[in-house]
Amino acid sequence: MGSINGQNITLKFLREKFGVNPDESEPCLYNQDWYLKEDFMDLTLEDRWYLIKKDVFEESRAVMPGDLTLQGLNFPPAILCGYSFFAYYYARNEYIWWHDFVWCCDTDHNGDRIYVGKYHDIDGVNKNGFSIHRHLALRPCYGSVNYIG
């Protein structure tokens, strides 16, 4: 599982192979580029068995990730989620995490938590694609200004 024809399976590899344009091919990744230089995009999986739940725990909805880890939940790596998403599609011809995001153990260079999934936007605003996002943590660079209008 760690490589195909000598090439490591990473999120960058999945993006390259499946593309980012649902008008050309599905399944694909949601088109963003902020993450291309992030370390977690180059992580790969070890050649071993993995077990990952395909359904989101209902009691975990709208709960901050820090609170969920305190409850003992073990977040999967983003590459495992990405690989599982595409493998499940090709094995079952179904999408997992169609409308749901899944917290991951990875963080970006700022320490912001990565979450993935939600292939389809129920409101129809965004195009289809396996999404990779980051949950921005509040830091001193966030502040407010006053506006009178």
3-state secondary structure 51-80: CCCCCCCHHHCCCCHHHHHHCCCCCCCHHH
Q: Is residue 127 part of a domain?
A: yes
| Tally of domains in the chain | 1
As a whole number of angstroms, the longest Cα–Cα distance in the chain is 61
Q: Is the pLDDT of residue 1 over 60?
A: no
pLDDT higher than 70, residue 81 = yes
- Evaluate whether residue 147 is within a structural domain: no
Q: What is the pLDDT of residues 110-144, one digit of tens each?
A: 999 999 999 999 888 999 999 999 999 888 888 88
Whether 45 is in a domain gets the answer yes
| Domain carrying residue 123 | 3-135
According to the model, what pLDDT value does residue 19 have? 97
**pTM higher than the cut 0.85:** yes
- Is residue 149 assigned to a domain? no
Q: Does 46 fall in a domain?
A: yes
Residue 24 confidence (pLDDT) above 60: yes
Question: What is the per-residue pLDDT for 5?
Answer: 79
25: left (phi over 0), alpha (psi -120 to 50) or beta: beta
Q: Which residues are 115's β-sheet partners?
A: 103, 133
The mean pLDDT of 31-59, rounded to a whole number, is 95
What is the average pLDDT value for the chain, to the nearest integer?
94
Are the CB atoms for 80 and 52 separated by under 8 Å?
yes
142 falls within a domain: no
Please tell me the predicted confidence (pLDDT) of residue 2. Answer: 72
